[in-house]
Amino acid sequence: MRMGLAIDASCDLPQDFLQQHDIAVMPIAVRVDNALFKDDRDPAEIQRFLNLKLGSRSHSAETEPCSVEDVQKLFLEKLVLEKDCVFCLTITATRSPIYEHVVKASFAVLKNYRQVREPAGITGPFLMRVMDTRSLFAGSAPCVAEAVRLMQANEAPAAIRERLAYIAENSYGYMLPRDLYYLRARAKKKGDRSVGLFSAVLGSTLDIKPLLRGYRGDTTPVGKVRGWEHGCETLFQYAADRVRAGLLVPVMCTAYGGDLSELPKLPGYARLAEACEECGVTLMQAPMSITGMVNVGEGAVTVGFAAEEHAVEF
């Protein structure tokens, strides 16, 4: 059985990893003023966004996740011909309609795929499995990495689905935002009251940054740090501690909302890299998606991993 993966563009993974494993990306359209971007994790498009230095205006951006029709087109024109089973992994359904779009599209794909495959001489059924990673940004990476491993091991689709559901329930995505004013403006634009004006003003005045966690579909602050650089050290040290405590998937994904060459230079990153090397854990570096940057601001740092449930210690 030819098996494949599709993700939405806001799942932060390195481009070389996506290309190596032939992972399809369901794009998101982003408009900032008169500038239009196709967010499909193309490094050139991410760099174009950064080069335009849209800055604080990005909080007013309009984003349009891959539509039901676009998902159907991707599958019926390409994936049903190239694969026999495709797992679609999306960021948490509580933060994006993309999961709902893909589920709706799957009905038409599974109904019509024979009309596409049979003329091409492809026999046998086509399977499409849609899964919510229950996290966001780099927090979606463990599910994707584990799916790749299971497919390479020729596991059955049912076994893969069961394992990925378990990993999704135990995936953690942490974020350190750089600009609280931006985060509050974007939240207001989207009708999200999770970052209040008072908190933003107080945090910026005292240089206090929240550490946010995406876990089991919920996105909440789980700690506070004084100063952005200290926040980086705290976050990376926490990630290093989790690596040494043991991960469910031997992958730690890090993402940065800016020039990716700056990520390894951030305070504390070297200690995380050392922990990963000691424990045989793959350390990934990915640019934050354009969608991610317009939602939380440039310069944000995220980490994602899968681990058994544990107390947050910040």
Phi, psi for residue 265 in degrees, rounded to 5: -85, -10
More confident site: 190 or 41: 41
Span 226-239, pLDDT tens digits: 989 999 999 999 99
Name the pTM for this structure.
0.93
Q: How much is the pLDDT for 183?
A: 78
% residues pLDDT > 90 (the chain): 79
Instruction: Look up residue 93 and give its two tokens.
Output: 């359904």
Q: What average pLDDT does the segment 201-207 reach?
A: 60
For residue 253, the SS3 value is strand
Span 134-148, pLDDT tens digits: 999 999 999 999 999
Instruction: Look up residue 189 and give its two tokens.
Output: 């634009």
CA 140 – CA 163 distance, rounded (Å) = 14
Mean pLDDT of the chain, nearest integer? 92
Interacting residues of 159 by C-beta distance below 8 A, sequence separation 6+: 150
CA 75 – CA 49 distance, rounded (Å) = 28
Q: For residue 192, with 0-12 CB atoms within 10 Å meaning exposed, 13-18 middle and 19 or more buried, which class applies? A: middle
Interacting residues of 156 by C-beta distance below 8 A, sequence separation 6+: none
Instruction: Dump strand ranges (E) for 138-268.
Output: 171-176, 208-215, 218-226, 251-256
% residues pLDDT > 70 (the chain): 92
Span 97-133, pLDDT tens digits: 999 999 999 999 999 999 999 999 999 999 999 999 9
Q: For residue 153, with 0-12 CB atoms within 10 Å meaning exposed, 13-18 middle and 19 or more buried, which class applies? A: exposed
Least confident stretch, 64-68, 76-80, 178-182, 280-284: 178-182
Cα torsion for 44, 45, 49, 51, to the nearest 10°? Answer: 20
For residue 304, the SS3 value is strand
Q: In what order do the strands lie in the sheet with 301-306?
A: 218-226, 208-215, 171-176, 301-306, 251-256, 282-287
CA 124 – CA 62 distance, rounded (Å) = 41
Rg over alpha carbons for the chain, rounded to the nearest Å, is 19
Band of pLDDT at residue 34, cut at 50, 70 and 90? confident
Q: How much is the pLDDT for 198?
A: 45
Least confident stretch, 53-62, 66-75, 90-99, 287-296: 53-62
Q: How much is the pLDDT for 197?
A: 44
Q: Which residue has the tokens 């005045």?
A: 205
Sign of the CA dihedral with 194 first, then 191, 104, and 31 last: negative
Q: What average pLDDT does the segment 53-73 reach?
A: 85
